[in-house]
Chain A
Amino acid sequence: GAGVSQTPSNKVTEKGKYVELRCDPISGHTALYWYRQSLGQGPEFLIYFQGTGAADDSGLPNDRFFAVRPEGSVSTLKIQRTERGDSAVYLCASSLAGGHEQYFGPGTRLTVT
């Protein structure tokens, strides 16, 4: 079956612009996670959804970052007034309810110039 997909695969934007990153989880997976990975580092947790609600957004760095999952499937990570420090690979993962194994997408590489 299809895995987790993320679009776009690459996004280059200018400092100060708004961007949206999309994640399509595996069908039937109720848990969805966003992580951010900088070069040479492991993924860093941003936010977790169980169904439609954000159950834990403690990893969002500031209020410029926001994520939604309105129908409990596709999720969008939104970044306002982008800064050069936001440049990273943004990874999405999904899992079954109560499951521990996470299935990751290929990531979106965001570059802020």
Chain B
Amino acid sequence: SQKIEQNSEALNIQEGKTATLTCNYTNYSPAYLQWYRQDPGRGPVFLLLIRENEKEKRKERLKVTFDTTLKQSLFHITASQPADSATYLCALDLSLGNEKLTFGTGTRLTIIP
């Protein structure tokens, strides 16, 4: 069956350290993988998109890797800050002509001052 798993439901990281979140999937062949941030009571906010032929993408303190052999994406936040505390969602875009997203359950990240 098709499944998307994000490493842990909750992750606590000390301020200033690097937070690493994992997204694993089975029985999908996504053309794109996206990461979103969601704060309580709000809709998800787009962060980064990585294509199947890209290994790594960076944006400021964020870095995403995509390994289509392992069927895994890693999402890193360097020099983490308390303001980075949120739920982070990975989403697969199968790009079958409609760009609908299939989301993981999310990881709730807390940065401890």
Contact = CB atoms under 8 A, between A and B. Distances in A.
A42 B46 contact: no
B43 A91 contact: yes
Contact of B98 (A41, A44, A50, A91): A50
A67 interface: no
A87 interface: no
Interface residues of B, number: 26
Contacts of A107: 42-43
B43 A105 contact: yes
A102 B42 contact: no
A90 to B, nearest CB: 10
A43 B101 contact: yes
**Candidate in B32, B43, B44 with the most chain A CB atoms within 10 angstroms:** B43
Nearest to A33: B100
B93 A100 contact: yes
A40 B6 CA distance: 12
Contact of A104 (B43, B105, B106): B43
B67 interface: no
Contacts of A44: 103
A42 B89 contact: yes
Contacts of A56: 98, 100
A66 interface: no
Interface of B: 4, 9, 32, 34, 36, 41-46, 49, 89, 91, 93, 95, 97-106
Sort A-B residue pairs by CB-CB distance and give the 5 closest, nearest first.
A42-B103, A104-B43, A101-B46, A45-B100, A56-B98
